[in-house]
Structure 1
Amino acid sequence: MMQAKTVFMFSGQGSQYYQMGKQLFDADTVFRSWMTRLDDLACKIAGRRIIDTVYSAPKSATFDDVAYTHPAIFMVGYALAQCLIARGILPDLTLGSSLGSFAAAAVAGYIDAEDALGAVLEQAASFDTSCERGGMIAIVADPSLYEEDFLKRHSALAGINFSTHFAVSAAHADLDTIEAVLRQRGITFQRLAVRYAFHSERIDLAEEQFSWSMKSIPLAKGTLPLVCCARGAVLGQVTEDYFWQVVRQPIRFREAIASLEAQGTHRYIDVGPSGTLATFVKYALSDQSASSTHATLTPYGQDLNNLARLAGDAHPRKMEQHG
């Protein structure tokens, strides 16, 4: 029987919250070192401290300022990946969902981590400069619901995560209307902590500014396969427009996991802030799958225990340098 391949999964906007990764920041030298290093770079590029903001408010406060959430999500994901690697938990593939594609590509060697953070900051600036406010709603229902008029007329299909979970993006003025219908029909939903309608035409005005900035950033062949949720497939290289397409095109997470499952058994490790992708995988897997799912960081205060459990389960492999 072949050993399960390890997939590091990086989530995007909507998975962030104040205090994310605080246990590791306080207790783990590798995590703290990378967070600090990237924070220094963010300050040099954009003139603001990200760490101070992330750890300045309670978890319950809304954290949706893209100037801070964009780099914070990247920093936490990349630092956590390095923390896992230092413990001998090495990825065979990386998977990026939306903004998480930056950290996934950096860990897999397609882009330098410092360049990736610079691109993340530039993308955030392009949204703030060019786009009108909008939002996203996660809906617990069959994605076929999107074909109904109240959704299709007022929103864009932003992604399908598994058979009973999808997300839509909409103008700010339409969010309450959509939620009113969902509430009336007894359909579970959650408005995500985002200020823009990602994965829709409502962010198109930011493309030119961001794409221009990417022309100066070198891309490499990479050392690991990269699972792209914008295509629902495994890639061996990335092109110049990759980092725009992953936030513009719908998230095809369900298809991406199906593509991996067709290739064999995997160990899916969520390297994002909230453990959301681990939950998505759990519901996306068939009952016959031998694959496993693992959350690391969550809002529930078990970060150190989750990390210790993962390290105890790690399969010994020769240490390599990634990212």
Structure 2
Amino acid sequence: MGKIAFLFAGQGSQYPGMGKDLFEEINEVHDFFGIAEAIRPGTLSQMLVGTEEELKRTDNTQPCLFLADIASALALGANGITPDAVAGFSLGEVVALAVSGILSKENAFKLVCKRGALMQEAAEKEKGSMVAVLKMDKGELQELCSEVGVYPVNYNCPGQIVVSGKEDKIEKLKEKLSDKKARFIPLSVGGPFHTPYMKEASEELRKEAKVNMLYNINKPYIPLYSNRTAKPYPVDKEGIIQSFTEQISNSVNWEDTIKNMTEEGIDTFIECGPGKTLTGFVKRIVPQAQTYNVCDLDSLKSVVEELNK
């Protein structure tokens, strides 16, 4: 085994009850969840016993999914497994800010609460949605998006690109894709994320980060790969703020991120949080990579046993 990367899940992977047994059984998780609940009362109820519809709201999804993601990282750390690098998909990048040491866990949670509220506000102003397009030529899809007025935003893996935009235009795109007999999957998200429609949210989050000194931004102690550039975060405060705020209104270059991590010796990827979407992408990008998922006690035990052989 070479180096290990932790990957943090993004919106769309959430479900009621995620992280429940880690919260109940892992002291480090239980303690931090208590801190998070004090910061944003009601979060644990939404996360553990809330409805799917409640969790779909971006201002709820982001704090809850942050906790589910970081719970897996804390549980792994409690069992002696730590990463050599981290990356997070969209919202997951805020979790990576904490695990890389750029922000404390508490301040990263405060940031994700603000991020979720700003993005929810932007989504209510600009009603939109997202759809994953499968096995379509990249150039052809980009041309079609330009014609319809939507944006290819998430370059997930070979053969999968997510498109984002206003609801009426996404519906028009679906019609054209159907005409071309192209496969697509609507995503369980509540807005036109990673598009220029999120510019105001991006700018407001930047103001928040620059003005509020409570965030106490530090240099990362392990590389955090940026969604926007697919390269490690800068180490200066201004560059760090620019990276996590501009991410909201820019594309997620996940395929290039995984390729770049592999080139730096990462050969084992552990997805932290609900679902297996990110490790599925990894297998499509780097078939020889070792991939694992941790979302509950059973998967935690399995991964710990496997990596300690």
Shared fold (TM-score, shorter chain, > 0.5): yes
2:292 to 291, 294, 302: 294
Give the counterpart of 1:96 among 65, 88, 92: 88
Aligned to 1:183: 178
Cα pair distance change 1:152/1:159, threshold 3 Å: farther
**TM-score, structure 2 as length reference:** 0.89
Aligned match of 1:134 = 128
CA distance in 1 between partners of 2:126 and 2:301 (Å):
43
Larger mean CA deviation between 275-284 and 182-191 belongs to 182-191
Partner of 1:154: 149
Contact in 2 for aligned 1:135/1:197 (Cα 8 Å): yes
TM-score, scaled relative to structure 1: 0.85
> Partners in 1 of 2:16 and 2:182 — Cα distance?
28
When the two structures are aligned, how many residues end up with a matched partner?
300
Q: Secondary structure at the match of 2:269?
A: strand
User: Does structure 2 conserve the Cα–Cα contact (< 8 Å) formed by 1:98 and 1:247?
Assistant: yes
The alpha carbon displacement at 1:20 in A equals: 1.8
For the aligned residue pairs, the C-alpha RMSD in angstroms reads 2.1
1:71 and 2:66 aligned? no
The aligned counterpart of 1:320 is: none
1:151 and 1:178 in contact (8 A); partners too:
no
What displacement does 1:8 show? 0.5
For structure 1, list consecutive stretches of 5 or more residues without a partner in the other structure. Answer: 44-48, 298-302, 317-323
Q: CA deviation at 1:265?
A: 4.4
Corresponding residue of 1:166: 161
Please show how residues 1-323 of structure 1 align to structure 2 within 5 Å: 3-43=1-41, 49-57=42-50, 63-130=55-122, 131-142=125-136, 143-149=138-144, 152-215=147-210, 216=212, 217-237=215-235, 238-286=239-287, 289=288, 291-297=289-295, 303-315=296-308
What is the rounded CA distance, in whole Å, between the counterparts of 1:70 and 1:154 in structure 2?
A: 27
Amino acid corresponding to residue 9 of structure 2 in structure 1: S
> Within 2, Cα distance between the matches of 1:123 and 1:265?
30
Aligned counterparts of 1:141 and 1:26: Cα–Cα separation in 2: 41
CA distance in 2, matches of 1:22, 1:183: 40
- Offset at 1:296? 1.8
Q: What amino acid maps onto 2:112 in structure 1?
A: V
What is the identity percentage for the equivalent residue pairs of Structure 1 and Structure 2? 24
Contact preservation (8 Å) 1:89, 1:315 = no
Cα distance between partner residues in 2 of 1:266 and 1:150: 34
**Aligned partner letter, 2:285:** A
SS of corresponding position for 1:235: coil
Amino acid aligned to 2:94 = F
Q: Which amino acid letter does the alignment assign opposite residue 159 of structure 1?
A: N
Equivalent-residue separation in structure 2 for 1:259 and 1:94 (angstroms): 12
Relative distance call for 1:82 and 1:132 in structure 2 (3 A) is same
Partners of 2:205 and 2:118 in 1: CA distance = 6
Any idea what SS the aligned residue of 1:89 has? coil
Q: Structure 2 regions of 5+ residues with no counterpart?
A: none
8 Å Cα contact 1:159/1:166 also seen in 2: yes
Using the alignment, how far apart are the partners of 1:25 and 1:111 within structure 2?
Answer: 22
Q: Distance in 2 between matches of 1:19 and 1:40?
A: 19
Q: Distance in 2 between matches of 1:153 and 1:278?
A: 31
Alpha carbons 1:133, 1:196 under 8 Å: kept: yes
- Alpha carbons of structure 1 residues 150 and 249: separation in structure 2 relative to 1, 3 Å: closer
